[in-house]
Amino acid sequence: MKLPILSLLSIGLLFNSCAQTPQKKERKQEVVQIQTEFELQDFLKENKDLDAAVEKVFASLDDTAIVAQLIMPAVGRLGQEKATIDQHIKDRIIGGVLMLNGTKEGFTSWITDFEKQNATYGNLPFLYSADAEPSLVNRKIMGSTIVKKANELKSIEEVRTCAQTISKDLNDIGINYNFSPVVDMSPNATVGFRSFGAVPANIIPWSGAFIEETQAQGIVATAKHFPGHGLVSGDTHKALQVIDGELKEIQNYPPLIAQGVLSIMVAHIAVQNNSKYNTNGLPSTCSKAIVTDLLKTEMGYKGLIVTDAMNMGGVVAVPEAAYKAVAAGCDIVLMPVDAKKAHTELLAHYRKDAAFKAQVDAAAKKVIRMKIALGLLSAK
């Protein structure tokens, strides 16, 4: 039986096409489980076993998953719809989620579901964060235990009790990363009521107490907003703010770094008329002078460095802001306007720029180290 010439040609083209471009199967990675148990404060310590565990997990990841560790969108009333996060999980492009304005019950349910999906798609477990500051937690997480606002607390003992109360709620929900305390001074209206700065002498000891109690409960604490939001006049949610001259608030950070604060959040604040730390019109989040030269090198900070929300007015107009933030030295890009676009942007630079690839690899390893220290990859 003779086949028509067109059919033979079609078969040939089909065979040739299949030979040249084999179809890729969607990869489900096997999540490495860690047999050794670590404690949260091991993150900052010299620990060869933890180093080896990080390398083992990192080696199991492909490029997509490595870059994903740096991206943390938000879900909730002021974040994305849950369905959007579900799709990001399926696409394997995120490494954590900010729980932003919702209910205690709802967030608990969502986290349980997200982790079921992560297991299905072979993703590493997530870092789950919240703006659980004393002044915001009851608004951000409805149904959480009522606490006094930061500027209403009267003693360091009240601060400790407040941190314990908040941390218990976060543990009940499954949130392991708190973007608190605010260590800014109080004159700025946006952050003043959220900090312990009504009495400037209280900022360091009270922030230190909050950090100590939070991390004792197995939750990452975050000092913010580096290099200081308390003495600028405006609101970085609305527009880029500027520190003109001396960085007067950075004095609050060395004692907290020495104490072992595990995370620091960088603000969308430019610095001008400062010969050493001028950001050249960029927000600090996108400035190597601030993130790498000052925070990492001069202050010796080795914890996780997270951007403030990347959909805020102070940064949203910066082209390739996610790339610039990571290149500046940030480890986590928080709330990018479009998480998929941010992942695509970072991945493209990752695959063509060896220096940037090294920067991303180092950041991803820090995120993995934190996940291991939190026990998220424990075999038990």
The pLDDT of residue 27 is: 52
CB 290 within 8 A of CB 268: no
Which residue is listed with tokens 């939070």?
214
- Place 6 in a pLDDT band, splitting at 50, 70 and 90: very low
CATH for 49: 3.20.20.300
CB 350 within 8 A of CB 374: no
CB 233 within 8 A of CB 188: yes
* pLDDT tens digits, 62-78: 999 999 999 999 999 99
Position 173 in a domain? yes
Position 380 in a domain? no
The least confident of 6-15, 142-151, 165-174 is 6-15
State which residues form the domain around 306.
34-373
The pLDDT of residue 8 is: 38
Model confidence, pTM: 0.91
308 is catalytic: yes
Position 169 in a domain? yes
The pLDDT of residue 14 is: 39
The average confidence (pLDDT) of the chain is 91
Position 168 in a domain? yes
pLDDT exceeds cutoff 60 at 28: no
Between 225 and 10, whose confidence is greater?
225
Selecting among 131, 169, 184, 308, the annotated active-site residue is 308
Q: Domain total for the chain?
A: 1
> Residues with Cβ < 8 Å from 278, sequence gap 6 or more?
271, 272, 289
The pLDDT of residue 11 is: 39
Position 23 in a domain? no
Between 216 and 241, whose confidence is greater?
216
pLDDT exceeds cutoff 80 at 105: yes
